[in-house]
Structure 1
Amino acid sequence: MMGPVLAACLLIILSTAWISQANGATCKKDGGVCTCNDQTKNVDCSSKGLTAIPINIPADTDRLQLHMNKLSSLPSKAFQSFTKLTFLSLNNNQLQTLPAGVFDQLKNLETLWLSQNQLTSLPPGIFDKLTKLTRLDLDRNQLQRLPNGVFDKLTSLNDLRLQYNQLQRLPKGVFDKLTSLKELRLDNNQLQSLPHGVFDKLTELKTLSLQNNQLRRVPDGAFDYMSKLNRITLNDNPWDCSCNDILYLAKWLATNLERHAGANCDQSSKAVLEITEEEAAEDCVYPNTTTAIPTTIITTLASSNDDDIPELPVPQENFQKFLGYQEPDHLPTQPQCLMSISGYLGLMMFFVLISAAILYVIHFLKKA
């Protein structure tokens, strides 16, 4: 006969097993794809090879993990029922776009991971409802630009990561509302310049990474308002030390040795902080090569007679469009024309010779 102690132990074991099974039962409706826990309100759907978000995830979920899947798109109402969500991971998927308003109902969200996707742009206002967000990861995407005001509502944000994208420039005032930001990572992009005053409102910032971009200078006073900054990385940029615009950065680095990783001149291995006014005496001129017209060409054209203006080559495809052709290959090139004429003459000569031979045969037969 079973003793009372052994029976009690068995009852505890069975109860624990039943509770554990009940905790996982909330996700069994979708075939048991996700691991769920009613106590922690945690739903883990990571690393399942998912191409769509599973149905019947509990509406009171606090943490939803969807990373390491194959999600290539999201429905615009994908998260509308998860109003209690504080953590959402969508990193390491194949997302190329985000539908407008997809996060609008996540008003309690504190952490959002979107890193290692294929995002090339962000819809305007995509984060406007996430007023409690403290961490946003957008690193290792393919972002080429940021919409104006994209972070304006994220006044609680502490950590923003944008490294390993393709950003070439930043909108003016893009970080002005992030007065609580403590860490900003912009390294491994293609930034060619920084807007004046871009960091002025980041008075709480402690870490700033700008290494491995295409920066040649920073605006005067760029770092003056970040009094709490204790770590900045500026290496692996083509700093132009021949230009006097580098002097602000050189002086700032020299007086903040304990706060930065080294930055070297592009023309040499010399440290930027060692540059003197005599070495950086040139005025800075960085023309916009994509739109600027060389002044020499304008001067030459303005001072020349009509006969002196050189003939400009017209691209073949433009000439063809002018003539009304739809495809470039409809208009033969000069070698093609020569080949066509020679072929035509050869064919005519062939017919002449054949005709002459036939007439000769007929004449010979008549005499015979």
Structure 2
Amino acid sequence: MMGPVLAACLLIILSTAWISQANGATCKKDGGVCTCNDQTKNVDCSSKGLTAIPSNIPVDTNRLLLGSNKLSSLSAKAFHNLNKLTFLSLGTNQLQALPVGVFDHLVSLDKLVLTSNKLKSLPPRVFDSLTKLTYLSLGSNQLQRLPEGVFDKLTELKTLNLDINQLRRVPEGIFDSLSSLSTVRLQSNPWDCSCRDILYLSNWIREKKGTVSNIEAAECDGGTKAVLEITEEEAAEDCVYPNTTTAIPTTIITTLASSNDDDIPELPVPQENFQKFLGYQEPDHLPTQPQCLMSISGYLGLMMSLVLTSAAILYVIHFLKKA
């Protein structure tokens, strides 16, 4: 009778320990996927094929590297316990949007990297809590517009990368609060120099030329002229910008408004994400692939605990049998 009972107990203990290691561990030393340095407080989870952020990142982490993974979305509370972070890298992922409040607890953050994702827009005030930020990279995304006031609280910001996006304009005054800026990358955007809205950016570049580096590289759509060279005569149109990449002059809007509803053509709807079209959904938990296998040290620790537990069970059974 003792054999089957002991086997069942061992199986339950082993299963429980394995699940705990797979779901709870973050650092390799505990059986997780990330490399953690206790002295420098660095956690490196880059290039691990992650589809979700590990849930048990140490709360005293200073630098968190999550670049070169397969993250397509973030939980609004993904970083809420990490108020010691000064460096956060989310570059080279598949992020399509940022939830409201996702960075609200990162009050010590100095550098934020969001380069090379698929961001098309930003939530209003998404960076408001990052008052110590000195470096922000949003380059190589698909940003079509920026919310008004999105940078208003970043008075310590020195470097801002907005290059290689789909920006045609910026809201008036968007850079006025950035009193510490030394570098701004604006090139490789289709800046619309036919609309009056471009004049704020053109005048700002002209004013900051020589004190903020790289801004002269911004060119009008088609590369025919630098943005800083645009005059009021050239930017004569009053344009509106719906949630598409094409500007529509106000004369067209007026014509459409005066027509019957049945005559108004439908505006093109952006194509849904291709992965969603195929029915593909990212899991919201850590992958259970080889990257989640326990390290040797974790395995040895688990086996030691199993041996001790088994010995305790055998002692109890022997004691009951004698009684």
Alpha carbons of 1:279 and 1:297: their partners in 2 closer, same or farther (altered >3 Å)?
A: closer
**Structure 2 counterparts to residues 227-238 of structure 1, below 5 A:** 227-238=179-190
User: 1:66 and 2:34 equivalent?
Assistant: yes
Contact 1:199 1:226 in 2 (8 A): yes
Alpha carbons of 1:214 and 1:55: their partners in 2 closer, same or farther (altered >3 Å)?
A: closer
Q: Which stretch has the larger CA shift, 251-260 or 137-146?
A: 251-260
SS at match of 2:136: strand
- State the one-letter code of the partner of 2:164: N
Alpha carbons of 1:251 and 1:145: their partners in 2 closer, same or farther (altered >3 Å)?
A: same
**Structure 2 counterparts to residues 116-265 of structure 1, below 5 A:** 116-258=68-210, 259-261=212-214, 262-265=217-220
Contact 1:65 1:88 in 2 (8 A): no
- State the one-letter code of the partner of 2:133: L
Tell me how large the CA RMSD over aligned residues is: 3.2
Separation of aligned partners in 2, 1:139 and 1:56: 22
SS at match of 1:255: helix
| Per-residue CA distance 1:69-90 (angstroms, 9 max, x = gap) | xxxxxxxxxx9xx998811001
SS at match of 2:188: coil
Separation of aligned partners in 1, 2:27 and 2:104: 33
Superposition deviation, residue 289 in structure 1? 5.2
Contact 1:111 1:136 in 2 (8 A): yes
Separation of aligned partners in 1, 2:52 and 2:130: 24
- Structure 1 spans left out of the alignment, 5+ residues: 1-51, 68-78, 310-368
SS at match of 2:199: helix
TM-score normalised by L of structure 1: 0.57
Separation of aligned partners in 1, 2:244 and 2:189: 20
Larger Rg: 1
Contact 1:240 1:266 in 2 (8 A): yes
Superposition deviation, residue 93 in structure 1? 1.3
Contact 1:163 1:189 in 2 (8 A): yes
- State the one-letter code of the partner of 1:270: K
Separation of aligned partners in 2, 1:267 and 1:157: 37
Separation of aligned partners in 2, 1:176 and 1:213: 22
- Structure 2 spans left out of the alignment, 5+ residues: 1-23, 264-323
- Report the counterpart of residue 293 of structure 2 in structure 1: none
- Report the counterpart of residue 102 of structure 1 in structure 2: 56
Separation of aligned partners in 1, 2:83 and 2:120: 27
Alpha carbons of 1:140 and 1:204: their partners in 2 closer, same or farther (altered >3 Å)?
A: same
Alpha carbons of 1:219 and 1:297: their partners in 2 closer, same or farther (altered >3 Å)?
A: closer
Superposition deviation, residue 300 in structure 1? 4.9
Superposition deviation, residue 97 in structure 1? 1.9
Separation of aligned partners in 2, 1:299 and 1:277: 30
Separation of aligned partners in 2, 1:55 and 1:220: 46
Q: Which stretch has the larger CA shift, 148-157 or 219-228?
A: 219-228
- Report the counterpart of residue 29 of structure 2 in structure 1: 57
Alpha carbons of 1:55 and 1:250: their partners in 2 closer, same or farther (altered >3 Å)?
A: closer
Separation of aligned partners in 2, 1:269 and 1:251: 18
Separation of aligned partners in 2, 1:162 and 1:208: 11
Separation of aligned partners in 2, 1:55 and 1:225: 40
Q: How many residues align?
A: 233
Pick one of 35, 46, 49 that aligns with 1:91: 46
SS at match of 1:287: coil
Alpha carbons of 1:231 and 1:287: their partners in 2 closer, same or farther (altered >3 Å)?
A: same
Pick one of 271, 280, 283 that aligns with 2:226: 271
Contact 1:216 1:238 in 2 (8 A): yes
Contact 2:27 2:33 in 1 (8 A): no
